[in-house]
Each structure stands twice: as structure tokens, then as C-alpha cells.
Structure 1
Amino acid sequence: MKVLISTDIEGVAGVVSPQQTRAGNPEYERARLLMTAEANAAIAGAFDAGADEVLVNDSHGDYRNMPAELLDPRARYVLGKPRYLGMMGGVEEGVTAVCMVGYHSRAQGRGILAHTINSFAFARVSFNGQELGEAGIYGALAGAYGASVVMASGDDAFIEEHRPLFPHAVFVQTKRATGQTSGLSLSPAESCAAIRAGVMQALENHGRANPLLLQAPVTVRIQTQTPALADLFCQWPTLQRLGGDEIGFEAPTVEAAVRMVNCLSAMSALLR
């Protein structure tokens, strides 16, 4: 059994502030260690369940947050960008089960630090008429490679949003959202223990989970944060302007759709 653990930071226990997610802040240096600890807990749970191989994907920001020397040496580390599969990098290695650790709710959601891929650029992202956050988008990408999301951790808003997408997954609640930048959190030790147990439970029953499959071609609709961003993105000739702050395009596959969205995210830096 080959397992991919995709790790973000906003859903990690003890993380509630943007300063904790951005390199260059003293609080970030502490938060990245909390992220690493939760990744190690997931790795341990995977090997407890009998995994033959585990890949851990650094999926936050510039994809190089967790100090490599602090990660469980039994796992292989997927890090750095650009990479075509983003937060699912490594799934192409023959992975059958995916665990999402430290994830968060989608843009305009009520969860802690809620956003979708790029909080500056995107207000809403929909694939085939269904609004999705990062877990849904990348869960569908995993599904396109035949892999199922079997476990996910984050706050209560994240879990409420994503349980319908992954009905057989084991969800671990690390904190309860009381606002965009406030919550009631487990201690790091308690969160790590729950994640390790959750991953072990999920992988012992991973045959029950089905991949999230989206029909191709994929129709993508994006509400941008400002009309200026829609102006910028529509420099791309194949994109359509659907409204003042809304754009759309059709992609032949889920992977192509994800890669296009990530290209738009990178383009948005021109207006920062």
C-alpha cells in the first residue's frame, strides 16, 4: 500500500492567524514545526496500518515549509514549486490512498483562515457547477489518478463542507472555528495523537473509500476578488469573461483544470 500525505498549515492545531502562515514572521517559525509534527503523526499512523511506502507532500505556500531533517525518515518528501500536480504532487507515483492533514475550508467559508488556493485572487472556484475548496479540487485530481481520499484533518467548518465529498473518509477535528482568525484548538500533542489514530483507522478500511471522480471535460468558473483580476486573467485568449468579476473556461481533464487555475494564481502576482 502506497500512501500520500498532503500537508497544509491553516488547519493545524494552534494555527489561527495569517502571521503564522507566512514566512518571515516569528510565529511562522513555530507554526511550521506544528505542521511538521502533524505530518509525522500521519506518517506514523500510515506505517502503523501497514503502509509499504509513504510520501509526504508539503502543500502550503511555496511548498517548502517543513524542515526536512525533522520529518520521519521512513517517508519520502515532495517539496518545492512549480510542480504540475501542486498539492497532490506524488499521487502519480502509484498512490492508492491520500490523507489530507492541516486542510481548511473554502473561500467565503466560515472556517479559520478560509480560502481557495490564493486568497488574493479567488473568491469562489467551481468545477462542473460545484463550488470546491482546495480539498475538493485536489481530491478530484487524486481521483483522476485512481486514488481515494481516506482521511482529512482540520477545523469543524472544513469537515462540515467536505464530508459529503468524501463520505467514507475519517475526519479528525483539530479545532473549532469561532471566526476567521479565532478558534478553540486541541493541544498539539492531542491533535497529533488523534491524527495518528485517524490515519491508522482510515488505512485499515481504505478499501471502502471510492475516488472522487468528475466528468470531463471540466467546466471551470472563477469569481475573482476584483474586476481588475478578471481583466488580467482574460489576457489568456481561451478564457471567457462572464461578468465583472467572473471568468470561465473549459478544460479537457481535471489535471488540466487544476494546472490552469494554478497558472492564474501565479499570474495574479502581477497585481499585488
Structure 2
Amino acid sequence: MKVFISADIEGTAGITAWDEAKKGHPEYEEFREYMTDELVAACEGAKAAGAKEIVVKDAHSTARNLILSKLPAYVSIVRGWSGHPDLMMFGIDKSFSAALYTGYHNKAGTDTNPLAHTLTGTVSRLLINGEVASEFTLNALCAARYGVPSAFLSGDAGMCAEAKAIAPGIGTVATSEGFGPATRSLTPKAAVASIREGVEKALSGDLKNCLPKLADRFELVVEYTTPIEAYRGSWYPGVEHIAARTLRFEAKDFFEIQRAIRFIV
């Protein structure tokens, strides 16, 4: 079994404020460690379930967050941003048996995580075929392009619920719940134990219901926080500038949606 893991930080247990997620702030070092510990727990669970190869994508901000000395010897890691449209999933291909997600957060505009957002702070809402999408939505569909099921996700409770709506068979661990700018969270130790157990259980089960169905055609609608961002993105080939803050793009292949997002978001 070959497993791909996409690791983010805003859904890490305990995280509550942006300073805890941003490199250069004193609080970041503590939560960088928790992010790494949760990722390592997912690796250990995958290995216990029979994974022979694990590839990790550091998928937050600079993509240089995970503490490499803590990673198991059997893991390889993709750091930095290549520019490829797979973005947070760069490194995945059809040879993988499953995709896992740690530290994930809910989409922009939701109240289940104080740090909820979608890709960047310039996006107010991003819709795929009329449904407001999260980063997990985009990444699970990316994995599905390669025929790879999304087997497990850890993150805020709202994100876990939405993940199950997209991939009903996915295993989840809710690390926290948002209350406006506050959170109620598992402790880092409890999160690590739950993630390790949850990943092993998820990968030992039937993954048939973990593969989202790809539509025959896709419509991407991006609503920005300012008209300036929409104007800049409107020059991408095939994009319609349908309102002051809104762009629209259609394609048959989801990769074309990913490529458009790469350049307009």
C-alpha cells in the first residue's frame, strides 16, 4: 500500500489565532510542532495498516513547516510550491492507494474554525458546480482524478462533517470546534492518539465510498473580497467577469479547473 498525506496547520488541535499559524510569530513554533506530531501520528497509523511507502506534502503557507527531524525514516516529503496546479496535492499520482489529510480547516465564511478560509484571504467564496467548496473539496477531487480515494481527514468538526458529505466513507478525527474567535479542542496528546488510531482503522477498511464521483462538466465560480482581485484574474483565458467581484470558468476536465485556480486565485 502506498499512501499520500497532505498536511495543513489551521485544523491542528488547539490552534485558535492566526499568529499561531504564521512563520515569524513566536507562537508559530509551538503549533508547528503540533502540526508535525499529528502528521507523524498519521504516518504511524498508515504503517500499522500496511503502508509500504508514504509521501507527505507540506501544504501550509510556505510549504516549509514540518520539523523534518521528527519524521519517520520510511517517509519522503515534498516541500515548497512547484507551481503545478495540484497545489496542496503535488506529488500524488495513480500509483497511490489512498490520500490522507491532517490539520485541515473549513472553508471561507464558515464559523466552525476561527481560521476558516479557502486558499487565500482574497477569496470570499469558491464554488464548484454551484456548491461552496473547501480546500478539501478541491484536493479530494484532485485525488479522484488519479483514481485515489480520500480515506482520512483530521481537522475542525465542521470540516470533518463536510468531508463526509463529499466522501461518505472517509474516516475523521475532529480536533476542535470553533465558537466565534474561540475554540474547544482536544489536547495535542489526545489528538495524536486519535489520529494514529483513526488512520489505521480507515486504511484497514473498505475504501470504495471514499472516492468522490467526478462530474461530466465543471463550473468554477470565484467570489473575491475586492473587485481588484477579480479584475486581475479576469485575463485568464476563458474566464467570464460576471460581476464586480466574481469570475466564472467552465471546463470538462477537473484539471482545467485546477489550472485556472492556480492562476486566478
TM-score normalised by L of structure 1: 0.92
Q: 1:237, 1:175 → 2: CA distance?
A: 40
Q: CA deviation at 1:18?
A: 0.5
Alpha carbons 2:46, 2:203 under 8 Å: kept: yes
In the alignment, does 2:134 pair up with 1:122? no
> Could you say what secondary structure the match of 1:167 adopts?
coil
> Could you say what secondary structure the match of 1:51 adopts?
coil
Provide, for residues 169-200 of structure 1, a one-character-per-residue CA deviation record: whole Å limited to 9, x for no partner. Answer: 11101112112x32011110110000000000
Q: How does 1:44-193 map to 2 (within 5 A)?
A: 44-84=44-84, 85-92=86-93, 94-112=95-113, 113-119=115-121, 121-179=122-180, 181-193=181-193
Alpha carbons 2:94, 2:148 under 8 Å: kept: no
Alpha carbons 2:12, 2:103 under 8 Å: kept: yes
Q: CA deviation at 1:236?
A: 2.6
Alpha carbons 1:117, 1:134 under 8 Å: kept: yes
Residue identity opposite 2:155 in structure 1:
G
> Could you say what secondary structure the match of 2:93 adopts?
helix
Could you tell me the percent identity over the aligned residues?
A: 31
Q: 1:98, 1:45 → 2: CA distance?
A: 13
Q: How does 1:225-244 map to 2 (within 5 A)?
A: 225-244=225-244
Relative to structure 1, the CA distance from residue 238 to residue 207 in structure 2 (aligned partners, 3 Å threshold; closer, same or farther) is closer
> Could you say what secondary structure the match of 1:146 adopts?
coil
Q: How does 1:34-45 map to 2 (within 5 A)?
A: 34-45=34-45
Q: 1:45, 1:237 → 2: CA distance?
A: 44
Q: CA deviation at 1:93?
A: 5.9
Higher deviation after alignment, 23-32 or 37-46: 23-32
Provide, for residues 59-89 of structure 1, a one-character-per-residue CA deviation record: whole Å limited to 9, x for no partner. Answer: 1112111122221221111111134111112
Alpha carbons 2:94, 2:146 under 8 Å: kept: no
Alpha carbons 1:150, 1:206 under 8 Å: kept: no
Structure 1 stretches of 4+ moved >6 Å = none
Alpha carbons 1:20, 1:28 under 8 Å: kept: yes
Alpha carbons 2:16, 2:182 under 8 Å: kept: yes
Alpha carbons 1:144, 1:213 under 8 Å: kept: no
Alpha carbons 1:175, 1:186 under 8 Å: kept: yes
> Could you say what secondary structure the match of 1:164 adopts?
helix
TM-score normalised by L of structure 2: 0.95
Match of 2:207 in 1: 207
Query: RMSD in angstroms over aligned alpha carbons?
Result: 1.4
Alpha carbons 1:216, 1:254 under 8 Å: kept: no
Alpha carbons 1:149, 1:209 under 8 Å: kept: no
Q: CA deviation at 1:110?
A: 1.0
Residue identity opposite 1:45 in structure 2:
G
> Could you say what secondary structure the match of 1:228 adopts?
helix
Q: 1:93, 1:192 → 2: CA distance?
A: 29
Q: CA deviation at 1:252?
A: 4.0
Q: CA deviation at 1:216?
A: 4.0
> Could you say what secondary structure the match of 2:211 adopts?
coil
> Which segments of 5 or more consecutive residues in structure 2 lack a partner in the other structure?
none
Q: 2:210, 2:163 → 1: CA distance?
A: 14
Alpha carbons 2:169, 2:207 under 8 Å: kept: no
Q: CA deviation at 1:46?
A: 0.2
